[in-house]
Amino acid sequence: MKRAFLFPGQGTQVVGMGKDIYEKYEEARNIYSRASEISGIDIKKLCFEGPEEMLNKTQYTQIAILTTSLAILEVLKSNNIKAEIAVGLSLGEYAALIYAGIISFEDGIRLIQKRGYYMETLIPDEKYSMAAVIGLASSKIEEICNEMRKKGKFVVPANYNCQVQTAISGKLDAIDETIEKLKEAGAKRIIKLNTSGPFHTSELKSAKEAYAKELEKISFNRINEIKVIKNIDGTYYQEKDNIKEILANHIISPVRFDKAIQLMEKEKVEEYVEIGPGKTLTGFIKKDNKEANIVNINSLETLENYLNKEK
């Protein structure tokens, strides 16, 4: 069976995530312990106890979600469950790169800690927001965002999630005004997202530049048989790619998960397994492909159900 592992991004965090899996599986406990040792953060306490306000801060959110996904992944690996393709949304791409062995576990934890810190602290002193726009073509969303920017209102498409959903990012007043225009244009539904930064926009240029210096310290391993899909353009990483440049630009570039879905469909993926909190990515896949065989592993119950099915 051709399987893809999917790793979620920011906004899926919830206090208590991973706790039941941690309590049962030593493999999961080891991941939390190693990540805490490398980062100097008590990630177990952060994930299991919060407080929510701290967990929702980008500098902590990213490392918490990554560690939770990797802890679940470790249990799957110990049961010899593998995937030919890996993809993540934004920070989730780091879980995919670690799974494929392109980045070491230690370097991945260090990088995501720095990435989260810079994405929270190195932004202009403005109020920002994001919103998911459902049921309106991305070309129309781009058109309306362009019109807003001509009026001096900063708002851009940031996440192309699937054919029927695109997230916009920008200054709070611009987002609110744009939402009204998108509704007038026929958007079926618009949801304000649980994030406060102008993620995947040019407003994070300073964060990108600081992060690029961190990437220079890292050695990446050769690409192997596990294919990893890039957020930046929805294609596979290749040996000729400048991974450091791609991951730096990733901070200021839109996420093309829509293209990743199209690539996985073209590759005839038979099972999509989302590993980590929430059900966001499988939700995107279902919107584009109602027949897709999806699995969510975000709790002890869902993990054990899947392991029992695979026996």
Length of the chain: 311
Residue type, 290: K
Closest CA to 159 of 200, 115, 205: 200
Beta pairing class for 155-162 and 3-7? unpaired
Set 36, 39, 90, 129: catalytic member: 90
Set 69, 138, 169, 200: catalytic member: 200
Helix, strand and coil in the chain, % to nearest 5: 50, 15, 35
Residues sharing a CB contact under 8 Å with residue 19, sequence separation 6 or more, in sequence order: 47, 48
Spatial separation of the C-alpha atoms in residues 128 and 249, rounded to whole Å: 20
Spatial separation of the C-alpha atoms in residues 60 and 126, rounded to whole Å: 21
The answer to whether residues 92 and 9 touch, using CB atoms and an 8 Å cutoff, is yes
Catalytic, 129? Answer: no
Residue type, 121: T
Residue type, 144: I
Token pair, residue 269, equals 């993926």
Spatial separation of the C-alpha atoms in residues 131 and 34, rounded to whole Å: 35
The answer to whether residues 94 and 112 touch, using CB atoms and an 8 Å cutoff, is yes
Which strand ranges, in their side-by-side order, compose the sheet holding 155-162?
189-192, 128-134, 165-171, 155-162, 255-256
Residues sharing a CB contact under 8 Å with residue 142, sequence separation 6 or more, in sequence order: 157
Per DSSP, helices labelled H in 164-242 are: 172-184, 205-215
Catalytic, 219? Answer: no
List residues with catalytic annotation.
Answer: 90, 200
